[in-house]
Structure 1
Amino acid sequence: MQLEADVEKWIAEIATALAGREQELTADLVGLYERELPNLVNDDESMVSLLSASVYQNLDTALRIFRHHIDPDRVEAPAAAMEYARRLAQRGTPVNDLVRAYYLGQTAILEKAFDEAIRLVSDPADLGVCMRYALTTTCRFVDRVTRQVMVAYEEERGRWMLNRSAVRAARVRAVLDGETVDIGASEAALGYRLRGEHVGLVAWYPAQADPPDPLSGLETLAHRLGRSGADGRGGDPLFVPYDEMCAWIWLPLAASEFDAGTIERIVTTLRDDVRVALGEPARGVEGFRRTHSQALRVQSLALAAGEECAPVLTFSDVGAVALMSSDLPSARTWVRYVLGPLSEDDPQHERLRETLRVFLATGGSYTASAAVLSMHKNSVQYRVRKAEELLAVPLAERRLDVELALKLCHRLGGAVLRRG
């Protein structure tokens, strides 16, 4: 009992000694965060001031716990700490940075407390008991406060995202609907240049997908795609949730920067079932509407095609069919009409279709086709000849139709092929 009383006395004396240095300790911790968590300190003056107030109030609360033997499980997080967490949520600062700040601060203050304890407690055994008590109590306090500020962060993040998304969606819909809007004000509110160059896309998860946080995943994809231009050029995309599994996105990419192949590689590396429909690059407010309309048409076709189509479809690939209709039976009938037996859904005919598609895409060059397909030139010639023999119409008479039909087979797969 005497040792317990002595420990409480020593702890109170240590806390009292540190309480006289709160301003100094606050400055030390802010300096620590500047080195370890610079994004918390390299901010505007009001946020740094709120960070300092949060640190000071947390220190004051912790020291009062030790000076007056308060149960840390009954302590509420300081007002400045709760408000700082809410502000970080509004700015999208990762919550992990906030939590790490608490544990960095805990370690730094315990080191100061240990220095004071060495001065006050001479017996090593008593010193060990004293510091064990300090560590346990501090951990309980930090655990309680971090749980409270994390709840405040998550609640504010949800409210902020909901409000921001609602305002953003309303402004975007007004532009898409052709309403008379102040373009300058809309650009400022959206953080996106409507009068610039765009590539519109629709990104979504199919019904069978079960991502943990769909919209967060789609927004992450949008930012990666925004930097997909040549030499990493591009910028922040405009991201508008459509529902919990789908988003409308505009990438600030010019036609010269747009590379559908790069976008497809980025999407497929995610390996989480995301699907993307792309419009053509366009300029200005009218282009903003047009590229989005094209992406919606391609999405309709992709949804009708189902799981068998490619995860990324572009308007340049399937636009002709998408403009005519998203009626897959009609598209399937047309493909069969153009390709004849070549539209059979089996490995043999797939090889012939792919060879003919690459041959036409390379300008009818057997040599270039062989390089793309990693085949001998004679094998390419043989397959092209066999494919032409199966066409319902001579290639020379319907070359454009054949190219489009082959492209649809390549992108939509079994959705437009004939099965035995």
Structure 2
Amino acid sequence: MTADRSWLDEVRPHTATEPAGRPELLEEVAGVIGDDLVRWGVALRADEFDDARVAEAVVLSALLAVRTGEVVSERLTVEADLATRTAVARGMAVETIVQAVQRTYAVVARELASLATAPQARQLMADLFRGLDHLSTTLIAQFTAERERWVRSAAFARRELVESVLDGGHGADRLGYDLTRHHLALVFWADGHSTRELETAAADVLVAAGCTARLLVVAGPSVLWAWGSRTRPARVELPQGSGVHVAAGLAAEGVDGFRSSHRQAVKARELARLTQRPPGLHAYEDLALTSLAAENLDAAAEFVRHELGPLTEAANADLRRTLKAYLDHDRGLSAAAADLHVAKNTVLYRVRRAEQLLARPVGAERLRLHVALHLADVLGPAVLR
């Protein structure tokens, strides 16, 4: 039995909205689904996409599916190409695009279902699911192809040039960035953030650090390498609540400093990801000891187990934390208690209990014990195994 979709002929737009799409495309789509349904879709255009033309095209693809019952999103290939090109250039993940398409289709489903009878609504949903599946598959394929083209683009060539300089090769004179000054290297990353957003964050951070020149390189989806230069060493600060991760190396001078600061920033990022730290600043300056000790995680874990023994157990986490604070403050009970927000007697009891489990006083091999506690605190499950 042929599905009855004639009720869609009665759909009328509530408001008049200026179309964003190409006139020839709108005319072609109107020839299939009717002028009124096109105007309804244009008025419904959601804000799920930065480009109104893309947003409008997604709505029209949904209307083509529900009006004809066929998968006809090929009519919108140019707009789909535009969406994927923009997404790749901004470092967005393909999942972000597909999710925006899904939300747009959901809006169309909700609005049309409110005008339909129960049988019509069931047919509507079936048509939309078919159309959504096809459009999502098409976008993923186009995104993959565009990503491969991007790898061969100027942006990738720029990254290759920077990598050559980092590896000790030639090309420094083509960077457009003065390598004779002090350099602060940063790595920015954040799930769900576009390259443009990361570049904005990088510019803000580098300006706040007093850097008068900067070099930004897209290192992958949602990952950005950055350098800032100035005539003296710089510090970096990240605004609270930015939702962005920033790994920072130590500021250093010249080409060697350009390279060493970047290596440190990359190492700080690895440690931040390993320990699943929340978004924020991850300074190599704070992680240098951990970085050195954790070059070989298996060896670090063995060292922690040997030094801490029973203290590695989850039930003894408070003892580890208290003992570390006690040693951090040069065995000062009052300072450790204030740091932990507990009474001095509590600190004293936990230290004595830890000594019982260790079967030695905390003053014996104090440096080894302190390093083991530090590694357990920073690396957590990576060494407490």
TM-score bucket of the superposed structures, by smaller chain: 0.5 to 0.7
User: Whole-Å Cα distance in 2 between the matches of residues 56 and 353 of structure 1?
Assistant: 60
Q: 1:377 aligns with which of 344, 348, 371?
A: 344
- Count of residues paired in the alignment: 319
Q: Structure 1 residues 38, 59: CA separation in 2 closer, same or farther (over 3 Å shift)? A: closer
What do residues 31-89 of structure 1 show as CA deviations (whole Å, max 9, x unaligned)? 222xxx1244x63xxx52x66677678868876x5xxxxxx4xx451543233233323
Q: CA deviation at 1:252?
A: 8.6
Q: CA deviation at 1:153?
A: 1.0
User: Whole-Å Cα distance in 1 between the matches of residues 298 and 35 of structure 2?
Assistant: 75
Q: 1:26 aligns with which of 21, 38, 41?
A: 38
The answer to whether residue 175 in structure 2 is matched with residue 183 in structure 1 is yes
Is the Cα–Cα contact under 8 Å of residues 359 and 369 in structure 1 kept in the other structure?
A: yes
Q: CA deviation at 1:296?
A: 5.0
SS of corresponding position for 1:177: helix
Q: 2:310 — aligned with what?
A: 346
Q: CA deviation at 1:370?
A: 0.3
Is the Cα–Cα contact under 8 Å of residues 267 and 291 in structure 2 kept in the other structure?
A: yes
Q: 1:293 — aligned with what?
A: 263
Q: 1:97 — aligned with what?
A: 100
User: Whole-Å Cα distance in 1 between the matches of residues 340 and 349 of structure 2?
Assistant: 14
Q: 2:47 — aligned with what?
A: 38
Q: 1:199 — aligned with what?
A: 186
Q: Structure 1 residues 409, 138: CA separation in 2 closer, same or farther (over 3 Å shift)? A: closer
SS of corresponding position for 2:309: coil
Q: 2:131 — aligned with what?
A: 145
Q: 2:363 — aligned with what?
A: 391
User: Whole-Å Cα distance in 1 between the matches of residues 252 and 331 of structure 2?
Assistant: 33
User: Whole-Å Cα distance in 2 between the matches of residues 94 and 288 of structure 1?
Assistant: 36
What do residues 2-25 of structure 1 show as CA deviations (whole Å, max 9, x unaligned)? xx99x98x959959x997994454
Q: Which residues in structure 2 correspond to 1:16-415 (within 5 Å)?
A: 22-33=34-45, 37-40=46-49, 43=51, 48=53, 72=69, 75-92=70-87, 94-102=97-105, 104-105=107-108, 141-164=127-150, 167=153, 171-178=158-165, 179-180=170-171, 182-183=174-175, 198-200=185-187, 219-220=191-192, 240-241=219-220, 250=225, 255-258=235-238, 278-280=247-249, 282=251, 289-296=259-266, 310-311=275-276, 315-317=284-286, 319-320=288-289, 322-323=291-292, 326=295, 343-347=307-311, 354-362=321-329, 365-380=332-347, 389-392=361-364, 404=371, 406-412=373-379
Q: 1:271 — aligned with what?
A: none
Give the letter for the 1:146 counterpart: L
Coordinate RMSD, CA, aligned: 6.1
Is the Cα–Cα contact under 8 Å of residues 198 and 283 in structure 1 kept in the other structure?
A: no
Q: Structure 1 residues 352, 77: CA separation in 2 closer, same or farther (over 3 Å shift)? A: closer
What do residues 131-150 of structure 1 show as CA deviations (whole Å, max 9, x unaligned)? 95x66765555444333222
User: Whole-Å Cα distance in 2 between the matches of residues 95 and 352 of structure 1?
Assistant: 48
Q: CA deviation at 1:293?
A: 1.1
User: Whole-Å Cα distance in 1 between the matches of residues 329 and 374 of structure 2?
Assistant: 14
User: Whole-Å Cα distance in 1 between the matches of residues 252 and 38 of structure 2?
Assistant: 52
User: Whole-Å Cα distance in 2 between the matches of residues 258 and 291 of structure 1?
Assistant: 18
5+ residue gaps, structure 1, are 66-71, 115-127, 186-194, 204-217, 268-275, 304-308
User: Whole-Å Cα distance in 2 between the matches of residues 138 and 328 of structure 1?
Assistant: 55
Q: Which has the higher helix share?
A: 1
Q: Structure 1 residues 322, 241: CA separation in 2 closer, same or farther (over 3 Å shift)? A: same
Is the Cα–Cα contact under 8 Å of residues 366 and 381 in structure 1 kept in the other structure?
A: yes
Q: CA deviation at 1:155?
A: 0.8
SS of corresponding position for 1:346: helix
Is the Cα–Cα contact under 8 Å of residues 248 and 283 in structure 2 kept in the other structure?
A: yes
SS of corresponding position for 2:342: coil
Is the Cα–Cα contact under 8 Å of residues 219 and 239 in structure 1 kept in the other structure?
A: no
Q: 2:93 — aligned with what?
A: none
Moved more, 76-85 or 162-171: 162-171
Q: CA deviation at 1:96?
A: 3.7
- Indicate the percent of aligned positions where both proteins have the same amino acid: 20
**TM-score, scaled relative to structure 2:** 0.54
User: Whole-Å Cα distance in 1 between the matches of residues 381 and 7 of structure 2?
Assistant: 76
User: Whole-Å Cα distance in 1 between the matches of residues 99 and 290 of structure 2?
Assistant: 47
Give the letter for the 2:38 counterpart: T
Is the Cα–Cα contact under 8 Å of residues 300 and 326 in structure 1 kept in the other structure?
A: no
SS of corresponding position for 1:89: helix
SS of corresponding position for 1:199: strand
Q: CA deviation at 1:28?
A: 3.0
